[in-house]
Structure 1
Amino acid sequence: MGLNVYLSGEIHTDWRERIIEGAQGLDVTFSAPVTDHAASDDCGVAILGAEDSKFWHDNKGAKMNAIRTRKAIADADVVVVRFGEQYKQWNAAFDAGYAAALGKSLIILQRPEHDHALKEVDAAALAVTREPEEVVATLRYVLTGALPE
């Protein structure tokens, strides 16, 4: 049994790399959003043309990114959503809700200080983790039945 895992959420730390590296040897295929912040923000206007209003600039980019995100979440067996410290990741919360609505297995990765703010998101998750290594251990257990040593 293999897993398709979508890694959603903040793009400013190395959490994705830690999960991918830790999962070496497991039958896991990872996908993720575009993590180049400038490319993600400007894809709509770069491809479809400039906008005078920042709202419509962002709207074009959000819609273009949604094509990738919707496909990746739909194809995923497991969706991991990371809520970081520096920014409010409204898009991550949206991804978590979308994944939950599709009945996807949801793993949340967050710091304890976000527990109250994310209580509804956490309630929809099958696991709430604190570190990327806990996500890896969860994936390893799901795939092999092995507990951490």
Structure 2
Amino acid sequence: MSLTVYLSGEIHTDWRQQIIQGAEQHGLQLTFTSAVTDHASSDAAGDVLGAESQGFWRDHKSAKVNAIRTKTLLEKCDLAIIRFGEQYKQWNAAFDAGYCAALGKPYITLHGAEIVHPLKEVDGAAMAWAQSPEQVVELLKYVASGQ
């Protein structure tokens, strides 16, 4: 089975690469998509629309431009992996999880046990909660191949 998997969430670790490499090692026919993971590029996404004197408006424009990509890719994916890291609050990931839930898109959360409580509603709507990229790969292997 060929699936498109959207990878959402924190951008400061290599969890995306671990999942992609694990899927390749198992020969899974998966296409991976993601938001822009280069922080500077993401922050500058709206700069083409003109300079802003206040940071709020720069962030506002860039968030909307980034949302074009995110919304489009989430709507086209078959399932999403939503990663919450320990170092930063990923409000964008929580929004993506809520959007998936509203669309009826299945998603898997990926985070450590120490943040189970603040993510109880997000995890409550998820189809699974994984604690490592390796667990995600095993879930994707089962979903894609039934093995």
TM class by shorter-chain length?
Answer: over 0.9
CA offset at residue 129 of structure 1? Answer: 0.3
CA offset at residue 115 of structure 1? Answer: 0.1
1:38-57 → structure 2 map (5 Å cutoff):
38-45=40-47, 47-57=48-58
Give 2:76's aligned residue.
75
Give 1:66's aligned residue.
67
CA offset at residue 43 of structure 1? Answer: 1.3
Deviation string, structure 1 residues 79-104 (Cα, Å, up to 9, x no partner): 10000011000011000000110000
CA offset at residue 60 of structure 1? Answer: 0.4
**Cα distance in 1 for residues equivalent to 2:145 and 2:6:** 19
Give 1:135's aligned residue.
136
**Cα distance in 2 for residues equivalent to 1:124 and 1:69:** 20
Structure 2 portions without partners, runs of 5+ = none
**Cα distance in 2 for residues equivalent to 1:43 and 1:141:** 37
Deviation string, structure 1 residues 87-129 (Cα, Å, up to 9, x no partner): 0000110000001100001100011011000000000000000
Give 2:98's aligned residue.
97
Indicate the SS of the match to 2:45.
Answer: helix
Structure-1-length-normalised TM-score? 0.96
Q: Write the letter of the residue equivalent to 2:119.
A: L
Confirm or deny that 1:5 pairs with 2:5: yes
Structure-2-length-normalised TM-score? 0.97
**Cα distance in 2 for residues equivalent to 1:81 and 1:142:** 16
Aligned residues: 145
Indicate the SS of the match to 1:128.
Answer: strand
**Cα distance in 2 for residues equivalent to 1:88 and 1:112:** 15
User: How large is the RMSD of aligned CA atoms in angstroms?
Assistant: 0.6
Q: Write the letter of the residue equivalent to 2:112.
A: R
Structure 1 portions without partners, runs of 5+ = none
**Cα distance in 1 for residues equivalent to 2:28 and 2:75:** 21
Give 1:23's aligned residue.
23
Give 1:36's aligned residue.
38
